Amino acid sequence: MRCGAYPEVTTVRVALGQFNAVVGDLAGNCRKMRELWAQAVQSDVDLLAFPELAVCGYPPEDLLHKRYFLDDCRLAVDKLAADCPDKTMVVGLPESSAGQTYNSVGVLKDGQITTTYRKGMLPNFGVFDERRYFRPGSEPVLLELNDVRVVLTICLDIWNIEWLGDFLRDVGRIDLVLNVSASPFHLGKIKRREEVVSDCAREFECAVAYCNLVGGQDELVFDGRSMFADSTGTIITTAEAFDEHLLIADVIPRDDGKVKVRPMQPPAKQPIDRVSEVHGALVLGTRDYARKNGFKKVLLGVSGGIDSAVTAAIAVAALGEQNVTCLTMPSKFNSPDTVKDAQQLAENLGAEFLTIPIEPILGRFHEALAMVPGWDDAGIAYENLQARIRGSILMSLSNQLGALVLTTGNKSETSVGYATLYGDTAGGFGVIKDVPKTMVYELAEHINKAAGREIIPAETITRAPSAELRPDQKDADSLPDYDLLDRILAGYVEQDKSALQLIESGLPQQIVRRVIRMVDRNEYKRRLCPPGVRITPKAFGKDRRLPITNHYSPTTHLGDDSP
């Protein structure tokens, strides 16, 4: 795709300011950009780029419908330009013009915004709703710095190479495609991003500088990992994962038509595998949700089971042991072993540990409810009462202590409704809400291995999971084996496979039908659960939105569909 005369060998030094923006904190976001600008000036950078919608954070959602918000964003960028006149900066902002709103980047130079580029490809799938807010741009923008020709793009623009080729047809020679992005994390996303960046570099025979957002925003986690690729499509250097980073490299067009990239820093350490990636996302998502919403401390119930153990360990990693309180609330159904493991976990983590037995409270509730004909202590209502007592205790302490309650339910349980409304779903944030049960076990092993010691007690990992709400209860009494359950859920929830497709892949028909019915019947429960970190390609909430009142079943054509 390269055309035109090649310049004499020259260099442009580019910095990618990967930082943790806070939605709506215009002053705070600009302060961080000023700090990175000062570092860039010291490094003699020619071009400094920040992520998509850097001034307001991503996604700002319906703030974009407020005209005064858009005006304030523009004023903030104008002031940033005036404060940072040296060097050329590219800053993401929502732009209002002639009654339309655009997802734009402003080019800041000599104390002012000299031009803007408007995003052409607007995603409207998964967690993205950009067509709700923005109109697409229609004109490319080319910058020339030191005779190096730089094309501006935003996020999805480079994910459709055919569209981008048509869009840039009349631009002429391109030495660098600069892409500013707010690309959220899920497992496997980094490999796809690297492929997209490499494909873009090879297609246009130029370097690519990709600047991504980092930080947690509600359910979403942005993992950073900004990168540079040379004109062969080779990824030359990558920024930190799950942390802020100013990534700097020289982009050097050569007279043979190749574009070289020379990094100015040692390589950043990257997660070694998928489990360490997930752990990093959960820690960052938990830390940012708590801190950005004004919570210094968190509180959670620990049962001696693996879900609460992993949640507690992530909370300590995110916020520090001094800011985590673990509370065990045993009844007559809790074994001495699980109570002991809950205490051992807290001691291993260095977290505060409290015990509030619920048996006396349960007894009084039961006495009062026994006045209603039909009440007894032999069914699921009595089991759920225990969970609701625990939820009330946690939320009462949250009010009193100002601590955020973390729920401990995993994706497998949430999918099929194996949870109690206003009980174990009561809280402000679900750390492992999108983590399948089988991965919870992997995380437990990872936590212990990374620490070089036993953080989560071995018995917690090896013991058969149980809610301990009745004598000798096991999860397996109510649910399929978690290995099988997670395979069905991955196919049905994340990959949108039909019941027939799952069965034809070799999964047992009766269990597939049963699991699908459980998933579909429990949409109402999921709506009432707190937000949690998204780590899979399709999470409940922003990704998967189905009606609560819904009579469609994908299992009907298989025969009898009664519960």
Instruction: Give pLDDT tens digits for 354-377.
Output: 999 999 999 999 999 999 999 999
CA dihedral 83, 88, 92, 96 (to 10 degrees): 80
What pTM was computed for the model?
Answer: 0.93
- Name the active-site residue from 119, 297, 497, 525: 119
Instruction: Give pLDDT tens digits for 26-35.
Output: 999 999 999 9
Asked if omega into 531 is within 30° of 0 (cis), the reply is no
- Name the active-site residue from 56, 155, 200, 529: 155
Q: Give the end of a domain, one of 266, 292, 312.
A: 266
308 and 185 in a single domain? The answer is no
150 lies in a domain?
yes
For position 4, what pLDDT does the model report?
Answer: 47
Which residue blocks in 350-481 are alpha helix, DSSP H? 359-369, 380-401, 411-416, 437-451, 458-462
343 and 454 in a single domain? The answer is yes
The full 3-state SS of 526-550, as one line of letters, equals HHCCCCECCCCCCCECCCECCCCCC
Query: How far apart (Å, rounded) are the C-alpha atoms in residues 66 and 321?
Result: 40
Mean of per-residue pLDDT scores for the chain: 93
139 and 242 in a single domain? The answer is yes
Instruction: Give pLDDT tens digits for 96-141.
Output: 998 899 999 999 999 999 999 999 999 998 888 999 999 999 999 9
Q: Give the end of a domain, one of 266, 287, 307.
A: 266
Tokens standing for residue 332: 């007559």
Contact 282, 535 (CB under 8 A): yes
113 and 46 in a single domain? The answer is yes
For position 125, what pLDDT does the model report?
Answer: 85
55 and 154 in a single domain? The answer is yes
- Active-site annotation holds for 87: no
Instruction: Give pLDDT tens digits for 527-554.
Output: 999 999 999 988 988 888 888 888 888 8
First to last CA, the chain: 59
| pLDDT (mean) for 410-417 | 94
Q: What is the CATH number of the domain that holds 367?
A: 3.40.50.620
Contact 104, 140 (CB under 8 A): no
- Active-site annotation holds for 155: yes
Contact 49, 14 (CB under 8 A): yes
Residue 391 burial (CB count, 10 A): 22
Q: Is the pLDDT of residue 556 over 80?
A: no
User: How many domains are there within the chain?
Assistant: 2
169 and 80 in a single domain? The answer is yes
Q: Which residues neighbour 485 within 8 Å (Cβ) at sequence distance 6 or greater?
A: 412, 416, 437, 479, 515
61 lies in a domain?
yes
Contact 117, 130 (CB under 8 A): no
Instruction: Give pLDDT tens digits for 213-250.
Output: 999 999 999 999 999 999 999 999 999 999 999 999 99
Q: Give the end of a domain, one of 419, 451, 475.
A: 475
For position 551, what pLDDT does the model report?
Answer: 82
- Name the active-site residue from 52, 130, 240, 277: 52
Instruction: Give pLDDT tens digits for 482-535.
Output: 999 999 999 999 999 999 999 999 999 999 999 999 999 999 999 999 999 999
Query: How far apart (Å, rounded) are the C-alpha atoms in residues 384 and 69?
Result: 45
**pLDDT band per the 50, 70, 90 thresholds, residue 559:** low
563 lies in a domain?
no
**Burial of 159 per CB tally in 10 Å (0-12, 13-18, 19+):** buried
321 and 176 in a single domain? The answer is no
- Active-site annotation holds for 3: no
Q: Which domain holds residue 292?
A: 275-475
Cα 293 to Cα 264, 349, 428, distances in angstroms: 36, 24, 11
Instruction: Give pLDDT tens digits for 458-475.
Output: 999 998 877 777 787 787
**pLDDT band per the 50, 70, 90 thresholds, residue 6:** very low
Q: In which element (H, E) is residue 429 found? A: strand 429-430
For position 470, what pLDDT does the model report?
Answer: 73
Q: Is the pLDDT of residue 557 over 70?
A: no
